[in-house]
Amino acid sequence: MEMPHYVVDRVMKKRGRKHVFDAFDPKVTAFMVTDMQNAFVKGKVKADSAIAIMPNINLLAQKMREMGGHVAWVQLQAGETDGSSVAELYHKYFFTPQGAEAHRSSLTPGDWGFELCEELDVQEGDIRSVKTRHSAFVPGHGDLHEQLQARGIENLLIGGTVTNFCCETSARDAMMLDYRVIMVSDCNAARFEEDHMAGLTTVFQSFGDVRNVQGTLELLSKGVEVGNQP
């Protein structure tokens, strides 16, 4: 993807540089993969483009481990095994009754839809976290922040689906918690190209950086030698 000219112009006027960060030390960096579950990739609420980004996700995850970094797989839970919702307001007001049931039941632990796609290279030792809100950083609705803090994580690379929903929301909250954030453009997917661009441009302007896999790996390689640069 190419950032629209008006967005780049606005960013240059605001901060005087296109990219926010010059280097990330891999040892204090985690690659957070958001909601790459069967329900979103292959099931009732799927984003077809999420299938296409899985090789990129696996590649970046592999490189992160090789560099001494961390990989975190995050899953959204929407229902309890007794059929109740973990987000009643969301299901009551933002879905039809039928849509709420499909969303809830597809994202309940034990259901096929809740599980991570089998094509993903999930390894023993990776971080695993379940959230019950769109953002992975809402207190009381997930433990990702605590797990990252326990490992001394300062930087987050964000991928997954969908770009302008759970990925963007998590990026915003992560920045507010003082993580340095990069949205990896070709590791994110949305249902429509316009949605994908909306999520990336919003983060790019005020919440983090946007780079593709190649650019992210270059930034991590620099970090091996020089560490983080504010």
Q: Which residue has the tokens 């973990």?
A: 86
**pLDDT tens digits, 11-39:** 999 999 999 999 999 999 999 999 999 99
Q: Which residues pair with 70 in a beta bridge?
A: 30
**pLDDT tens digits, 198-215:** 999 999 999 999 999 999
pLDDT at site 225: 72
Contact call for residues 32 and 167 (beta carbons, < 8 A): no
pLDDT at site 228: 59
The rounded distance, in Å, linking the Cα atoms of 103 and 99 is: 6
**CA-wise closest residue to 185 among 201, 169, 173, 174:** 201
The rounded distance, in Å, linking the Cα atoms of 92 and 150 is: 36
Confidence (pTM)? 0.94
Measured on CA atoms in the order 85, 86, 89, 95, is the torsion positive or negative?
Answer: negative
The rounded distance, in Å, linking the Cα atoms of 24 and 216 is: 9
Domains contained in the chain, CATH given: 5-13+24-223 (3.40.50.850)
Q: Six-digit token pair at 49?
A: 């483009």
